Amino acid sequence: MTDPRIEVRRSTLADGRELIYFDDADTTLPPERGIDERALDPRPATAHMRQDPLTGEWVSIAAARQNRVFLPPADLDPLAPQREGNPSEIPSTYDVAVFENRSPSFGPELAADGTDAASAAALAELRSVGLERTRTSIGRCEVVCFSPEHEGSFGTLTVSRARTVIEAWAHRTAALSALPGVEQVFPFENRGKEIGVTLGHPHGQIYAYPYVTPRTQRLLDSVEAYGPTLFADLLERERNGPRVLITGEHWTAFVPFAARWPVEVHLLPHRHVPDFAATSLAERDELAELYLRLLRGVDALYDTPTPYIAAWHQAPVHERRDEVRLMLQLTSPRRAADKLKYLAGSEAAMGAWIGDVTPESQAEALRAAIGRVQV
């Protein structure tokens, strides 16, 4: 489902990468877009993956990423519109722009055969375990620019612009899910130097993986153990509990019962939808405002903006789509105004988490912070 109010305009960068503009419903931009006339080096070869036989997990070895830009000044921002002295990635001014990453962790090579039968066989083969196994890191990585401005984040956008980004997530989820060899699509935003952000420009990313990610595989195991109503039952319990932060007609945000991070918020749609592509226009409209309230509330916890990872978990492309529901998991290591939670021995080495604050007290603080913000 696409929103006819938001125009989609396709283009190509000088090295052949795809660039897509998404115009706000109330855009003031003309329809014409500039041509990328840069002289670029050829795209790097697709990376390769190596399997850890102790866990069965795959690690993409993408050495080309060592050359990516690190915290550039505003006049050399690679995500700003091109101008004299700044040959950036986007040749025209824009509302929202999506393009293929110049230094991807996955892709641009794709699988030769994208049939369901081939996908099932490939998944089974990837889940087997052996020594010194390698595979090509097929898939795709895209950058989602939320604004042409050098500074900001999703939470600083207007409602109209937030709605455009959500439309871009839905559009790209559908397109990337249809690529041969792609098994899961993951939109996310990293915000803050403390998280490891290398570009201050307001943006997120979308990864299209050639496998079902380890975190989602654990979720599939939980669904198998609990039953197909896991998400519906979880949402019903949380909506009637003490950790709800915001609830609307279509979405509810809450602090989870077993929160790992000092700041952790989950957001679920009320009806079952596996990914953004399956959401209705009404659900996207409400999400634009509700999500802005949530992010601005997280920032209102302290006097300075809070670093976070906003991770939109979506159902695998080919598995359990009637059981795994779209879900935001927003996490921050900020445990006080001037303190961060660092993953030490128990969490980093053993995956055995210890919470620093109770989820109920953090939910109370977040509700108060959300009550102080406006959208």
Catalytic amino acids? 203
Phi-psi region of 351 (alpha: psi -120 to 50; beta: other; left: phi over 0): left
Nearest to 276 by CA among 160, 187, 154: 187
- What tokens appear for 3 in the block? 């929103």
DSSP code per residue over 85-129: TB--SBSS--SEEEEE-SS-SS-S---S---HHHHHHHHHHHHS-
Q: What's the rounded Cα separation, in Å, for the pair 326 and 267? A: 9
> Rounded to 5 degrees, what angle do the CA atoms 274, 277, 279 make?
75
Contact criterion met (CB below 8 Å) for 266 and 329: yes
> Rounded to 5 degrees, what angle do the CA atoms 158, 163, 167 make?
150
How many other CB atoms are there within 10 angstroms of residue 117's CB atom? 8
* Distance from the first to the final alpha carbon of the chain: 26
